[in-house]
Structure 1
Amino acid sequence: MASIKIAGATLNQTPLDWTGNLDRIKKAIEQSKADEVELLCFPELAITGYGAEDLFLSYWFPQRALAQLENLVPFCTGITVAVGLPIRIEDKVYNTMALIENAELKGIVAKQFMAIDGVHYEFRWFTPWLAHEIISFAFMGQEVPFGDLTFHHKGIHYGFEICEDAWRGKSRPGYRLCQRKVDLIFNPSASHFAMKKTLERKDLIEQSSLLFDCFYCYVNLLGNEAGRMIFDGEILLAKNGELLARNQLLSFEDFQVRSFYLENKKQEIAPIQPKEWEFAQASALGLFDYLRKSKSRGFVLSLSGGADSSTIAILVAEMVKRGIDELGLDGFISKSGIPLTVQSNQPEKELVGQLLVTAYQGTRNSSFDTLHSAQTLAKSLGAKFYSWSIDEEVDSYTEKIEKAIGRKLTWEQDDLTLQNIQARSRSPIIWMLANLNNALLLSTSNRSEGDVGYATMDGDTSGSISPIAAVDKHFILNWLLWAEKNLDRPGLAAVNALTPTAELRPIERTQTDEKDLMPYPVIVEIERLAIRDRRSPLDVFYLLREELPIDEEILKGYIKKFFRLWSRNQWKRERFAPSFHLDEFNIDPKTWYRFPILSGGYQEELEQLDQI
């Protein structure tokens, strides 16, 4: 077998950005040609982007994608290029890879298995192709083969498993490709980012190369393409069960080309980063792409001094730092699309000051500690910082209700009402600040709070985007400790010294989050079994009583509380601002976990706990 140079090219695409998407593809091809690449593979649905959603169902959208392919074919002289796009044949749409060789379309491979779990709804848009089936497809006045195809190049026989195709065990196309004696399998993918998912991919690619006795090359999309899912742009090559090459994930670049010789020897292998680094890098990239693609001018954040809002402030600062590190100062400013200026020798802080506006919105129930924490953190990052009291607004709302109902509101009788009005009173004024700055308002709810509804609708849930809504509070608390040291963020010292609290009750009532709910590590364990693994309350109890050193009756109480609050608060989750998918699962009903807004609330299932 000839030793040739192949490459994978990852792309940061955007649905409906036809010109930009095609331009990035062409630039990647130009770079590949300059690097003397012979075989180049782009990710799945590279022409349109993966996140086009129901646009795939229209007649015109796949036709426009096909027209873009027509524009691309003449550009591919002296190179073989595989590029993904949707193709409609009569009333069915197929997810395909078009193979262009020296400015001629040689064939189109169609995906055989659809991803239908978690964040994926591919069966809504695409029809799976049947194994072994090949038809003729009319393209630019010629007939080209379409379906279950393989190809040859200089004695190298190669084929494709398109993303989900590779995850289907004994049914996967790789077995048939192996029977056809291919030397190389490309896996063009649109595989969403999740922390430590790269380990699963590495194992899959290594095992695939061993199982099918071939080179196996994986190529993923890059960036926050359409709002929620982030793609990490991973490119991998393996042979004989061993990884030969790997790029670093989550680049801020528009595209990356990773080339390697098709030889069974190790080439450059980027290290696998810890989970904490992945969270910071993915969130920073996700925020940057959301900012520039929404054509906003920055971010506004209600900075309470607590863990959640402080995490988000750090992530915005990391967005600036990592963007400058990779793109350069001028490149970062240019790509942001915002008229930013730098006039000092501290460009990172200066840009944070232009991109992040924060406000501490205190009440008589707020402490000096949280004000100090917020102010110190904002100053350390360079963020613009405001501070004001909302007592006047809270009192005004309260007095109007008291007059209407003819009695005073008291903490003994009206606890929840008096808490919520404080959180809600913060929303209108912080939205004003966002509007004034043409900025995105950042919502601060986390996944643990989303589980049990420990968030005020139209209060701390208000926002354009909710960056940490898919991450649990236990992780956030530990990440802040890691970030203070490993990201050199000394401004977090005051934050990390605080006990998490909503500060909505009078200070003498010593309110804490875990006192209101239950220990955060317990929420994480119940959530893992109940939501991720879809276990019943009884199953959760039997499993956790073996895992957690908690009295059985107390554990039953925690489980009952979780399931009751989960059921009662689905309506809140339906209204949360869009969030990034960052972990192995999330609770966003639009992307991962659907649950009825109205239900029996596990009443009968929870009664079973009292019978054991």
Structure 2
Amino acid sequence: MRKYRIGGATVNQTPLDWKGNIQRLKKVLQEARQHKVEILCLPELSITSYGCEDLFLSDWLPKKALTFIPELIAETEGLLTTFNLPIRHNGTLYNCSLLVQNKEIMGIYAKQYMALDGVHYEPRWFNPWPIGLVEEFEIEGRNYPIGDITFDFEDWKIGLEICEDAWRGDVRPACRLVEKGVNLILNPSASHFAMKKTLERIALVEKSSSEFNCTYVYANLLGNEAGRMIYDGEILISQRGDILLRNELLSFKSHQLVYGDFYPDQSTEKDETLIAPVEPKEIEFPKASALALYDYMRKSRTKGYTLSLSGGADSATCAIMVAEMVKRGVAALGADEFCKSIGFATLNEKSEKGIVKAIFNTAYQGTVNSSDTTLNAAKYLADSIGAKFYSWNIDSTVNANTDIIENALGRELTWEQDDLALQNIQARSRSPIIWMLTNITNTLLLTTSNRSEGDVGYATMDGDTSGSLAPISSVDKHFIRQWLVYAENELGYDGLKYINKLPPTAELRPQDQKQTDEDDLMPYHIMVEIEKLAIRDHKSPLEVFNALKDANLEAEDLLKQHIKKFYQLWSRNQWKRERLAPAFHLDEFNVDPRTWCRFPILSAGFVEELQEL
């Protein structure tokens, strides 16, 4: 048997961007034909985008998506491919893949399993197609098979799994496809990014091609589609247990096509140039964050970002991510195209620092409790990446607010009696002025909360939580501190050298109190271990203690104190997590109740469970 040219493609789509979505799909189809690709897998729901949320519940959206099929079919001469869209059949909505070969519809496969874990809520919109059922669906006056079907094309018998279908173990569709003699499985996917998740996908695709003695093609969506989820655009082709093709992930380009030549009846020789290496977590983090910020900025049609730069680790990480956005965007697209894509086509200075300066405001908002050390660290970082840097003092605003409440109460506020209120008024006084700069410059305000702070509510609501976007709130503080050292030493960000020497501190108490975050809370490396078990794995306080007591993290009595403190602070601060700005999903889990972790605002706070501890 001859070789066939098989490919996968990814596209960066946007809900309701019909013109753009279809145009990007057409470009992929045209490129595939130019390169003589014969079989092409496109991503899940790539006509509408995956992130349409409750728009999927409408009648009109699936109908409109279907109207674009004829013009897409016109681009398929000599090509077999998948067009992926929602289809309402007999009053019920299904997640479908319409297979076309050489301008002819062959039929429609409907997804059989819905994702309902972590960040997924597919059963809210879609219904699972019954196993074994095949019916008919009308398109422009002709009936086509829809449901649990396979397709024949020359030397290939083709079956499909759509994303979640493949993750269902012994009941997945592929278990039935192998019995039907299928030797090629296409998997259109919308699998959200998380650091190191690619290892799970690679293992799945390798195992699938081995167990089912087939060629397995996987194609994922790309980019920050709709605000929170990031898609890495991963494309994988495996044959009988060997990955033979893998692309570089998290591209800034609007679409990506990769392909290779494969035998249907024997293993194809491996070409290492077609297999991109798996990158470490330290590289995945800035790549994903940079792409997400780029898409968020251009899709929201704003003029950049504004950041309250404190001289601490969290705001420094956000600043580096904006710099990475520019650096990676320019490298991928070229300076002219990058500037054009973000609305700065006429910018005169198109060096990396010139672009950063045009789109990025930073400000140090000091008080009497702030130190020259953090001021200088913030300025040094801003200057090193090219950001605009402002510095002002907010003591007059803090004092004005304090005077009002002291007059109302008829007494002076003291640190002994009013510690929390005196800390919070400083953080809240920073919010109006940084918002003012944000509004004047038509930018987006970044808030710097990390996941560890979200766990325990270590943030001032309407103060340092105030912002349009929380880019690092799904990442724990322990990782952030380690990554900043990596960024300084390995990525060349010398501007971090002063920040990396400082212990994390809110700088809200008088300087002689030497406030640090870990004194207020607990060591971050302890918190992250408790968090994984308590939140990710849903374990009780006693179960967490039993799992950690032999790890020699700290003395058992102190460990119990920290576990108790974590659960108490977690329980009382759900209302804060409900109000955090939209966040990127970057890690294996997050604490955003709108995506991954739901918890009651009101509860008894683990009283009995902590007594057991």
TM-score normalised to the size of structure 1? 0.98
Post-superposition CA distance 1:513-541 (Å, at most 9, x none): 00000000111000000000010111001
Q: Please state how far the C-alpha of 1:340 moved relative to its aligned partner.
A: 5.0
Alignment match, 2:304: 298
Alignment match, 2:222: 222
- 1:104 corresponds to 2:104: yes
Unaligned runs of 5+ in 1: none
RMSD, aligned CA: 0.9
Q: Please state how far the C-alpha of 1:253 moved relative to its aligned partner.
A: 0.4
Counterpart secondary structure, 1:13: coil
Q: Identity percentage over the alignment?
A: 59
Structure 1 segment 501-520 matched on structure 2, within 5 A? 501-520=505-524
CA contact (8 A) 1:134 1:147 kept: yes
Counterpart secondary structure, 2:74: helix
Alignment match, 2:119: 119
Q: What is the rounded CA distance, in whole Å, between the counterparts of 2:102 and 2:5 in structure 1?
A: 16
Q: What is the rounded CA distance, in whole Å, between the counterparts of 1:179 and 1:548 in structure 2?
A: 51
- 1:592 corresponds to 2:610: no
In the alignment of these two chains, the number of paired residues is: 607
Q: What is the rounded CA distance, in whole Å, between the counterparts of 2:410 and 2:2 in structure 1?
A: 88
CA contact (8 A) 1:342 1:351 kept: no
CA contact (8 A) 1:299 1:441 kept: yes
Post-superposition CA distance 1:194-237 (Å, at most 9, x none): 00000011111000010000011110000000000000000011
Q: Please state how far the C-alpha of 1:91 moved relative to its aligned partner.
A: 2.7
Structure 1 segment 64-143 matched on structure 2, within 5 A? 64-143=64-143
Read off the aligned partner of 1:499 and give its amino acid letter. P
Q: Please state how far the C-alpha of 1:241 moved relative to its aligned partner.
A: 1.2
Q: What is the rounded CA distance, in whole Å, between the counterparts of 1:249 and 1:456 in structure 2?
A: 36
Alignment match, 1:210: 210
Which of 516, 524, 527 does residue 523 from structure 1 map onto?
527
Structure 1 segment 445-460 matched on structure 2, within 5 A? 445-460=449-464
CA contact (8 A) 1:450 1:587 kept: yes
Alignment match, 2:172: 172
Counterpart secondary structure, 1:25: helix
Q: What is the rounded CA distance, in whole Å, between the counterparts of 1:538 and 1:338 in structure 2?
A: 56
Q: Please state how far the C-alpha of 1:172 moved relative to its aligned partner.
A: 0.3
CA contact (8 A) 1:340 1:354 kept: no
Alignment match, 2:262: 262
Read off the aligned partner of 2:327 and give its amino acid letter. K
- 1:278 corresponds to 2:317: no
Counterpart secondary structure, 1:50: coil
CA contact (8 A) 2:44 2:162 kept: yes
CA contact (8 A) 2:80 2:99 kept: yes
Q: Please state how far the C-alpha of 1:382 moved relative to its aligned partner.
A: 0.3
CA contact (8 A) 1:74 1:104 kept: no
Post-superposition CA distance 1:254-287 (Å, at most 9, x none): 0001111124222311111110100000000000
Unaligned runs of 5+ in 2: none
Q: What is the rounded CA distance, in whole Å, between the counterparts of 2:575 and 2:54 in structure 1?
A: 24
Alignment match, 2:63: 63
Q: Please state how far the C-alpha of 1:156 moved relative to its aligned partner.
A: 1.1
CA contact (8 A) 1:70 1:140 kept: no
Post-superposition CA distance 1:534-593 (Å, at most 9, x none): 101110011111123321111111011000000100000000000000000000000000
Q: What is the rounded CA distance, in whole Å, between the counterparts of 1:339 and 1:420 in structure 2?
A: 42
Read off the aligned partner of 1:105 and give its amino acid letter. I
Structure 1 segment 25-424 matched on structure 2, within 5 A? 25-263=25-263, 264-267=268-271, 268-339=274-345, 341-343=347-349, 347-424=351-428
Post-superposition CA distance 1:487-515 (Å, at most 9, x none): 11100001101110000000000100000
- 1:551 corresponds to 2:544: no
Counterpart secondary structure, 1:412: helix
After superposing the two structures, state which structure 1 stretch, 542-551 or 291-300, moved more. 542-551
Q: Please state how far the C-alpha of 1:102 moved relative to its aligned partner.
A: 1.4
Counterpart secondary structure, 2:466: coil
Post-superposition CA distance 1:21-52 (Å, at most 9, x none): 00000000000000000111100001000000
Post-superposition CA distance 1:55-76 (Å, at most 9, x none): 1111001111111223322232
CA contact (8 A) 1:570 1:596 kept: yes
Read off the aligned partner of 2:159 and give its amino acid letter. G
Read off the aligned partner of 1:441 and give its amino acid letter. L
Alignment match, 1:6: 6
- 1:432 corresponds to 2:406: no
Q: What is the rounded CA distance, in whole Å, between the counterparts of 2:405 and 2:73 in structure 1?
A: 68
Q: Please state how far the C-alpha of 1:142 moved relative to its aligned partner.
A: 0.3
Alignment match, 1:569: 573
- 1:467 corresponds to 2:474: no
CA contact (8 A) 2:336 2:345 kept: no
Counterpart secondary structure, 1:75: coil
Q: Please state how far the C-alpha of 1:121 moved relative to its aligned partner.
A: 0.1
Q: What is the rounded CA distance, in whole Å, between the counterparts of 1:266 and 1:358 in structure 2?
A: 49
CA contact (8 A) 2:47 2:83 kept: yes
Read off the aligned partner of 1:130 and give its amino acid letter. P
CA contact (8 A) 1:321 1:348 kept: yes
Runs of 4+ in structure 1 over 4 Å off: none
Alignment match, 1:608: 612
Read off the aligned partner of 1:332 and give its amino acid letter. F
Read off the aligned partner of 1:319 and give its amino acid letter. M
CA contact (8 A) 2:349 2:355 kept: no
Q: What is the rounded CA distance, in whole Å, between the counterparts of 2:276 and 2:353 in structure 1?
A: 29
Q: Please state how far the C-alpha of 1:380 moved relative to its aligned partner.
A: 0.3
Post-superposition CA distance 1:361-403 (Å, at most 9, x none): 0000000110000000000000000000000000000000000
Q: What is the rounded CA distance, in whole Å, between the counterparts of 2:602 and 2:554 in structure 1?
A: 32
